[in-house]
Each structure stands twice: as structure tokens, then as C-alpha cells.
Amino acid sequence: VREADIRPADLFNRYLALSEIDAQRLLGTASDLVAVPCPACGDVECDLGITKLGMAYQLCRGCASLYASPRPTAAALDDFYRNAESVKFWSSDFFRLTAEARRERMFRPRARLLAEVCGEHLQQADLVVDVGCGYGLFLEEAARLGTFARVLGIEPGPDLAAISRARGFEVVEKAVEDIASGEVQADAATCFEVLEHVFDPLRFLRSIAELLRPGGVALLTTLTSSGFDIQVLWERSKSVFPPHHLNLLSIAGLERLVARAGLTLLSIQTPGKLDVDIVVNTVREDPAIQLPRFVANMLARQDEASLADFQEFLQRNRFSSHVQLIVRRAES
Ligand SMILES: [Zn+2]
């Protein structure tokens, strides 16, 4: 997988440009911003990490998570995700044009992984629910496996919910936080790249736990500030962009968050494949960028094999910025 496959530079930069305009609009009303403690561990002690487009990202002293604070209120974010131009661009042009690459490289392997996790941990897995189902690609790939009796999407965005419905799937058109206790009782839940966007990750994760029957499992992915490309590029990282990405939690922070949500962490890994490619592409766009000496030296060699080897090292040692968690709800 290459960065250009799933987010071609021209499309991604157009998306970021729209996001910048949206951010100015949303963050311009500073009176609506609210300060929050670390969304991962709850610590209030922090230092200013990055300021970008007028949004302050704090670095938690307790767990080293990077998080936007003060941040737009939950209501302002809800409105943003319904109406903002960058959100519309993402769900129309961006996702549509990269959908098939994403299906093959991202969603098909995820569906297989979920089936494996269910096979390992559950006696039966009838109902699978995908939180933030978007285009319905995961639902399609999960249904195609034939191992689950029923797949259900949860999607608060009306346009995206309609797309998943048009593909023949049942969709609950709500934010997961608004689903009543007991309304959904799933054997397994998935949630890909949503955690970094939400106002309150703890409440969000507790809501996912509520969807699960006792003993049920969930597979989640998000971005982590512990990862290589974010650590190296820091304020230049395209993963640090308001108002979309509010929570770039560290590995330690994610572990704390899972425990606070009352879930058991079965595994936390960083299977990301793009860190080195992202840094290489950022340098290509801006050759004047200052990199740590070691990283500049490594890239200057232009040795594909050693870079691939380094990416594997990042994966194996939880140093990639793409993190995957498998969690379980207690039996009783
Ligand atoms: Zn923290």
C-alpha cells in the first residue's frame, strides 16, 4: 500500500484546503470553544504541543497524547459533520475516487481480520455492527465473507447513510452516542478512523461497548501520536489538522482509555504501512523541510529495501501512526 493509492496528493490537498476554510469558520467563533482534559487518560496537566490554523493541540503530561483543546463543542462538531464543505468533498469526490483502492487494500483485510478475531474469541458471531460505516465498504466486505448472519451500519451523516442503504444495508442513522442502551446487541463491532474525530473519545468508546453483548468484541483503528510520521513531521504532519482530527492519542493513552471505558484490551498493534512513504512524500512536496538528522540521512540513501525494512520495524514495535485495537466487553 502506498499513500498515493488511498489518498492521491492532489485530491488530499484539495480536501485539506477545504478543511482549512472550514476550520477558520468553525474556530473563528472562539467563544464556542471548550477546554477539555486529556481525552485518553483524563489528566489536566499538559503543555502546548502544536498550534495549527489557530487550534491549539496540547501534549498530555500523563500519557503524551496530542489533543485539541480548547475545541469546538459537541453541537458545533455535529453541525460541522452535517454541513461543512470539506466533509461533503470527502464523502462525494474523495471517497468515491479512492473507494475501490480502499476496499481492496483496507476493508477486505479488515473484514478477514474481524472474522479471525470472532473465530478466536466468540462461540458465535451473528450480528456485526460498523460504527461510522460511511460508504458501506466494510459492510459489503463483511457480508461477502458469509460468516456473519447480519451486518448493520451506524452512520450519523445522512448522505453517507443513504449510500450504504443504496448498497442494500440496514443503517441506523444516528451518532453512536445517541443509541439507547439495548437498542443494538451485537456480537462484534468495528470502527475505523472515527476516534480521532469525536468530541469525547471516552463517551464514544463507552457507547461502542454498549452496543456489544457481554463477551462481545470490537475492532477499532485510529491514528496515534506515538507513530513515526507524526513524531517526525509534528506540526507539518497532515494528520494534525483541525477541525477534523482532534484526538491523536498515544499508545499509552489508548491503553488508559480502553480501561476507563470498562473494556478489556486484547491487543494493540500498529500495522500501518505508510509512515515512511508519508515522510518521503512530504519532503518531495517541500524539499526545504527540516527533518531530524537521522531521518534525513536514512531517506538520502534512497534504498527501497532498507526503507521497507524500517517500516516493518515500525509495525512490529508499535511505532507506526496507524493503530489497531481489539477490545472485549466483560462477560458479566
Ligand atoms: Zn493523557
Band the pLDDT of 317: cuts 50, 70, 90.
very high
pLDDT at 28 exceeding the cut of 80: no
Cα-to-centroid distance, 259 and ligand 1 (Å): 13
User: Looking at residues 29-40, what average pLDDT do you find?
Assistant: 87
pLDDT at 268 exceeding the cut of 70: yes
Q: Which residue has the higher pLDDT, 37 or 81?
A: 37
- Span 187-237, pLDDT tens digits: 999 999 999 999 999 999 999 999 999 999 999 999 999 999 999 999 999
pLDDT at 150 exceeding the cut of 70: yes
pLDDT at 228: 98
The chain-wide mean pLDDT, for the chain, equals 95
Cα-to-centroid distance, 186 and ligand 1 (Å): 30
Cα-to-centroid distance, 37 and ligand 1 (Å): 8
pLDDT at 94: 83
pLDDT at 31 exceeding the cut of 70: no
- Span 161-192, pLDDT tens digits: 999 999 999 999 999 999 998 999 999 999 99
Cα-to-centroid distance, 69 and ligand 1 (Å): 13
Cα-to-centroid distance, 330 and ligand 1 (Å): 24
* Three-class DSSP labels, the chain: CCHHHHCCHHHHHHHHHHHHHHHHHHHHCHHHEECCCCCCCCCCCEEEEEEECCEEEEEECCCCCEEECCEECHHHHHHHHHHCHHHHHHHHHHHHHHHHHHHHHHHHHHHHHHHHHHHHHCCCCCEEEEECCCCCHHHHHHHHHCCCCEEEEECCCHHHHHHHHHCCCEEECCCHHHCCCCCCCEEEEEEECCHHHCCCHHHHHHHHHHHEEEEEEEEEEEEECCCHHHHHHHHHCCCCCCCCCCEEECHHHHHHHHHHCCEEEEEEECCCCCHHHHHHHHHHHCCCCCCCHHHHHHHHCCCHHHHHHHHHHHHHCCCCCEEEEEEEECCC
pLDDT at 159 exceeding the cut of 90: no
- Span 237-257, pLDDT tens digits: 999 999 999 999 999 999 999
Band the pLDDT of 269: cuts 50, 70, 90.
very high
Cα-to-centroid distance, 61 and ligand 1 (Å): 7
pLDDT at 30: 62
pLDDT at 89 exceeding the cut of 70: yes
Cα-to-centroid distance, 60 and ligand 1 (Å): 5
Cα-to-centroid distance, 179 and ligand 1 (Å): 27
Give the global pTM. 0.95
pLDDT at 68: 97
- Span 47-87, pLDDT tens digits: 999 999 989 999 999 999 999 999 999 999 998 988 899 98
The percentage of residues in the chain with a pLDDT greater than 90, rounded to a whole number, is 84
pLDDT at 134 exceeding the cut of 80: yes
